[in-house]
């Protein structure tokens, strides 16, 4: 049974649990039944998944519950920070307090490790990198153009091929709309943004013209986001490696004098690289974390922590 099938069956079975009256005892019995049903599923997941996977799976379960019961009358509710009054099952599909503390400690240790340089990725010769990405905008290959746009705008692959729209503000800034991940499983992410100004690492009109060429050479507007990803992911990955590898070094200890080549670059890495280069070139006085939050459009500032694994090599 696939994960999606199991979640679907869980939600269907949850729907079959009914409140048998409005009195206090009936409500208590309903809560107890839903709690036991959720607890059984969570225990199954706990026995078969790592803590990180368990946490991720419970998020998927909660999103599926929100989706399924959206707009329905719920006689017994839970105050859900994402969707307001939600199904009471949302209260029970969570980690234990000690599991949350363990996960947070693991994440803190992981972030502390790379934030202090033990495993940081160093962006070298970033001016040459930007110049090379800019040259890709004049390519005859749609994937080379898209690879250039990924670095120069910091947008996601499917945004470049389907949803993004850019409107020039000045030579170095555009207004961007078409943000993905504003919704997960049909539920709008609280605080997620769309239609905001971002810096770009090439002339804004060149960026706009290049995006239009991508859409002309590879029209995918009638495809779903999932279909777009399936159709382009392999080719755009090859284009990124072919054109933009060689600019990242891996720091194996605290010293910048001990760097080794890192050639595992993927399209998603360009988003992190964009943040650091745009910050250095166009907003050096801003706090890096706050800047990343603003230009990437995340719903909360904590979501940008993973982009901090990178740093620019000094004085290059």
Render pLDDT for 31-86 as a digit per residue (tens, 0 to 9): 999 999 999 999 999 999 988 889 888 988 998 898 898 888 888 888 866 557 88
The CB-based long-range contact list for 102-107 (8 Å cut-off, 24+ gap) reads 102/51, 103/51, 103/52, 103/55, 106/51, 106/52
138 or 251, higher pLDDT:
138
- Structural domain spans, the chain: 3-95, 115-312
Q: How many other CB atoms sit within 10 Å of the CB of residue 164?
A: 21
Residue 259 backbone dihedrals phi, psi, to 5 degrees: -115, 145
Q: How many other CB atoms sit within 10 Å of the CB of residue 207?
A: 22
| d(C-alpha 147, C-alpha 265), whole Å | 12
What is the Cα gyration radius of the chain?
23
Residue 5 is predicted with a pLDDT of 84
Return the SS3 of 260: strand
Could you tell me the pTM of the whole model?
0.62
Q: How many other CB atoms sit within 10 Å of the CB of residue 160?
A: 26
| Inter-helix orientation angle 204-217/142-153, to 10° | 140
Render pLDDT for 235-257 as a digit per residue (tens, 0 to 9): 999 999 999 988 988 776 656 67
Residue 187 is predicted with a pLDDT of 36
311 or 28, higher pLDDT:
28
- The H or E element spanning position 61 is helix 51-69
Residue 311 is predicted with a pLDDT of 80
299 or 206, higher pLDDT:
206
Q: Do residues 170 and 176 make contact, with C-beta atoms less than 8 angstroms apart?
A: no
The first and second tokens of residue 77, run together, are 């509710």
pLDDT, average across residues 170-192: 68
Residue 77 is predicted with a pLDDT of 86
Considering only the top CATH level, what class is 115-312? mainly alpha
Helix-strand-coil percent breakdown of the chain, rounded to 5? 55, 15, 30
């Amino acid at each position: 049974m696939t994960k999606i099938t199991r979640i679907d069956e869980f939600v269907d079975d949850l729907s079959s649990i009914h409140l048998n009256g409005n009195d206090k005892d009936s409500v208590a019995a309903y809560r107890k039944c839903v709690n036991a049903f959720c607890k059984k599923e969570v225990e199954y997941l706990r026995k078969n998944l790592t803590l990180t996977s368990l946490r991720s799976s419970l998020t998927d379960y909660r999103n599926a519950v929100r989706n399924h019961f959206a707009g329905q009358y719920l006689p017994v509710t839970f105050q859900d920070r994402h969707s307001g009054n939600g199904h009471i099952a949302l209260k029970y599909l969570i980690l234990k307090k000690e599991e949350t503390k363990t996960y947070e400690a693991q994440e803190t240790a992981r972030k502390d490790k790379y934030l202090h340089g033990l495993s940081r990725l160093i962006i070298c010769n970033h001016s040459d990198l930007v110049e090379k990405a800019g040259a890709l905008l004049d390519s005859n290959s749609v994937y080379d153009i898209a690879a250039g746009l990924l670095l120069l705008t910091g947008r996601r692959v499917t945004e470049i091929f389907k949803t993004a729209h850019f409107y020039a503000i000045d030579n170095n800034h555009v207004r961007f709309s078409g943000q993905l991940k504003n919704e997960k499983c049909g539920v709008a992410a609280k605080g997620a943004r769309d239609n905001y100004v971002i810096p770009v690492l090439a002339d804004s009109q060149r960026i706009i013209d290049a995006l239009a060429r991508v859409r002309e050479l590879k029209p995918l507007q009638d495809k779903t986001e999932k279909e777009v990803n399936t159709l382009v992911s392999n080719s755009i990955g090859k284009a990124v490696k072919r054109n933009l590898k060689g600019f990242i070094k891996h720091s194996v200890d605290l010293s910048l004098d001990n760097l080794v080549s890192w050639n595992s670059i993927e399209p998603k890495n360009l988003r992190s690289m964009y943040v650091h280069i745009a910050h250095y070139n166009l907003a050096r006085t801003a706090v890096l974390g706050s800047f990343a939050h603003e230009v990437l459009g995340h719903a909360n500032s904590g979501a940008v922590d993973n982009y901090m694994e990178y740093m620019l090599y000094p004085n290059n």
